[in-house]
Amino acid sequence: MPAFSDRRRFLSVCSSLGLSSTLLPGVLWAMGQDKPALTPELLDSACKMAGLELDEAQRKLMIQSLNDQLTASKELRALNLPNAVAPAFSFDPVLPGVTTWDTAKRPIKVSPPRAPRVGQDFEALAFTSVRDLAELVRTRKVSSVAVTELCLARLERLDTKLHCVITLTKDRALAQAKEADREIAAGKYRGLLHGIPWGAKDLLSVKGFPTTWGAGGFEQQRFEEDATVVQRLDAAGAVLVAKLTLGALAMGDKWFGGMTRNPWKLDEGSSGSSAGAAAAVAAGCLPFSVGSETYGSIVSPSTRCGTTGLRPTFGRVPRTGAMALSWTMDKLGPIARTVEDTALVLAAIQGPDGRDRTVREVPFNWDASVPLSSIRVGYLKADFEKDRPEKPFDAATLEKLKALGVKLVPVALPDVNVGAMLPLLSAEAAAAFDALTHNGRDKLLTGQGEHDWPNFFRVAQLLPAVDYINANRARVLAMEGMARTFADVDVIVAPTEDPQVLITNLTGHPTVVVPNGFRENGTPVSVSFLGRLFGEAKMLAVARAYQEATDFHLRQPKL
């Protein structure tokens, strides 16, 4: 980065970055390489922005200490820390002494099979759920190879419209599918994902293929180990057919190859950052995919594309082998057609791997037959009453739940300013891609505007460490508030909007979104079901009951 030799130039840069007067400029970053490293004039400017007043003795002490700190900063940067190296600390969303989840592990209980008949229109299977497709494959009415070839063909044909694929893993997929058919024929059935095709958001490493993170400058990046989630789905017998698009470095739907499209409205983006993961499933190209969420990256594209998206509890699914954006907020989760499909995938990928230190050993006891009467359900009353375009759809959702016998208890989100905690995300993301900012390769990223990563990364370089720590302290207040919100309920129904999306990402609570209607222009909308920490089973049970009573998830875009 260039050095700033005078106060005027330094303040000009701060102003161009849109810095608030309450932010302490990153003096060490600003000074760059020139000597003397820090002048009294520049220190005075920085301290004024931080609201500090110094006498001469204090100023001299600070200048010496900051120059020493600059040396340490240069030495840290010289380590060239790879993205995979996590900080020495880890976030735990569970408050001290709080255990609200089931500690006994039991076999999952799935719904009865209802596999459709395979007729002459084989392509109709493109929109079959994982649960139903699994029965066809298990009973050998359909081969894994045939289903895999169907998915590959649809991806190749429809990607010209959707731009949802970065890399097809064709040879790997066909080899896996042939092996699945051989094992199933020999009576070695691994479970409901055996022989089922899927796609991975291209921030999950897969040996032998590029892992591009959707970003310019990373198109040829490769890793020599499969991500834990990939390993677990391989072990379950699932068939990886494609690495799917994501907005550059997990933001939005614009990647180095263009913009991923919404299958329901091709002149509109699919949203992101799990852009291809949602679009491919919605378009009938894949039965399921695995995406990631830090702040809305499963929820938002699932809403836009009309899929069912599950963001699990923070600490449920190991992120080993996934691109790190925010070590205290990143989560991996499935996108599929139905709620039960996401449960089947979660059962396969959850649990500790001995490498991601945030992951707890907590059973996931999925039971498709659990009675709704055994689950206490709340709803965000004030949020549902707000005037907004989606209000009629959400009101109809509440009426449908009441018709199913659900007794809705009014609850409210904690009254905390979660927006003030967003520096947590930007600071961690800037640290994860610090080298990109300092070596100038951020210029290769697609977006270069005010709300794109290059600018966010630079602004975060001026974020005080004190603010980062205080934002984490404020996060505890949000966690305590959410504990009170869930005190008397197991599941909460909520509109799919902020502040709900942000606060649940900060506190680590799970969410599943399902389509709950279509606008006049034919695009879908969604409703959210929130769960207690590690309470996915009950959350998914309520969401599934609603979904089974509607047909929104069965509709297909006309491509």
Give phi and psi for 143, each to the nearest 5: -90, 155
Q: Which domain-ending residue is among 79, 111, 146? A: 79
Beta strands at 491-495 and 524-531: parallel, antiparallel or unpaired: antiparallel
Would residue 302 show up in a list of annotated catalytic residues for this protein?
A: no
What is the maximum span of the chain, computed from C-alpha positions, in angstroms? 87
Instruction: Tell me whether residue 389 is in a domain.
Output: yes
Please tell me the pTM assigned to this model.
0.91
Domain co-membership, 60 together with 175: no
- Please name which of 353, 468, 416 lies closest in space to residue 91, comparing C-alpha atoms: 468
Distance CA 134, CA 104 (A): 27
Q: What is the DSSP string of 250-318?
A: SSSSEETTEEPEETTEEEEE--SSSHHHHHHHHTTS-SEEEEEESSSTTHHHHHHHT-EEEEPPTTSS-
Percent over 70 (pLDDT), the chain: 93
Percent over 90 (pLDDT), the chain: 79
Give phi and psi for 130, each to the nearest 5: -60, -45
Tell me which amino acid residue 527 is.
V
Q: How confident is the model at residue 37 (pLDDT cuts 50, 70, 90)?
A: low
Residue 528: beta bridge partners? 494, 513
Domain co-membership, 75 together with 143: no
Q: Which domain-ending residue is among 42, 59, 79? A: 79
Domain co-membership, 48 together with 168: no
Domain co-membership, 403 together with 255: yes
Domain co-membership, 228 together with 146: yes
What is the total count of domains within the chain?
Answer: 2
CA 328, chain centre distance (Å): 12
Q: Which of 143, 144, 273, 292 is catalytic?
A: 273
Domain co-membership, 167 together with 287: yes
Would residue 161 show up in a list of annotated catalytic residues for this protein?
A: no
Instruction: Tell me whether residue 325 is in a domain.
Output: yes
Buried b vs exposed e over 475-498: b needs ≥16 C-beta within 10 Å? beebbebbbebbeebbbbbbbbbe
Domain co-membership, 48 together with 191: no
Instruction: Tell me whether residue 232 is in a domain.
Output: yes
* Residue 46 three-state SS: helix
Tell me which amino acid residue 365 is.
N
Report in angstroms the alpha-carbon separations of 462 from 18, 25, 47, 466. Answer: 11, 5, 13, 12
Give phi and psi for 472, each to the nearest 5: -65, -35
Q: 176-209 pLDDT, tens per residue?
A: 999 999 999 999 999 999 999 999 999 999 999 9
Tell me which amino acid residue 405 is.
G
Domain co-membership, 136 together with 253: yes
- Over 90: is that where the pLDDT of 56 sits? no
Q: Domain containing 320: what range?
A: 129-362+370-416+473-554
Residue 526 has which token pair? Answer: 């969604």
Phi-psi region of 412 (alpha: psi -120 to 50; beta: other; left: phi over 0): beta
Q: Which domain-ending residue is among 20, 44, 79? A: 79
Residue 518: beta bridge partners? 524
Would residue 373 show up in a list of annotated catalytic residues for this protein?
A: no
Q: What is the CATH number of the domain that holds 307?
A: 3.90.1300.10
User: Based on the number of CB atoms within 10 Å of its own CB, is 257 exposed (0-12), middle (13-18) or buried (19 or more)?
Assistant: middle
Domain co-membership, 168 together with 20: no
Check residue 443 and give its pLDDT: 92
Distance CA 443, CA 67 (A): 29
Instruction: Tell me whether residue 442 is in a domain.
Output: no
Instruction: Tell me whether residue 108 is in a domain.
Output: no
Q: Which of 45, 143, 201, 331 is catalytic?
A: 201
Domain co-membership, 326 together with 261: yes
Which of 63-77, 158-172, 412-426 shows the lowest per-residue confidence on average (mean pLDDT)?
Answer: 63-77
Instruction: Tell me whether residue 112 is in a domain.
Output: no
> Could you count the other beta carbons within 10 Å of the beta carbon of residue 385?
10
Check residue 1 and give its pLDDT: 33
Check residue 186 and give its pLDDT: 98
Domain co-membership, 306 together with 395: yes
Residue 165: beta bridge partners? 244
Domain co-membership, 185 together with 313: yes
197: enclosing H helix or E strand:
strand 197-201
Residues comprising the chain, all counted? 559
Q: Which of 45, 289, 297, 528 is catalytic?
A: 297
Check residue 5 and give its pLDDT: 36
Instruction: Tell me whether residue 451 is in a domain.
Output: no
Beta strands at 377-380 and 408-411: parallel, antiparallel or unpaired: parallel
Asked if 555 contacts 518 with a C-beta cutoff of 8 angstroms, the reply is: yes
Q: 442-499 pLDDT, tens per residue?
A: 999 988 988 899 999 998 888 889 899 999 999 999 999 999 999 999 999 999 999 9
- Overall average pLDDT of the 66-95 stretch: 89
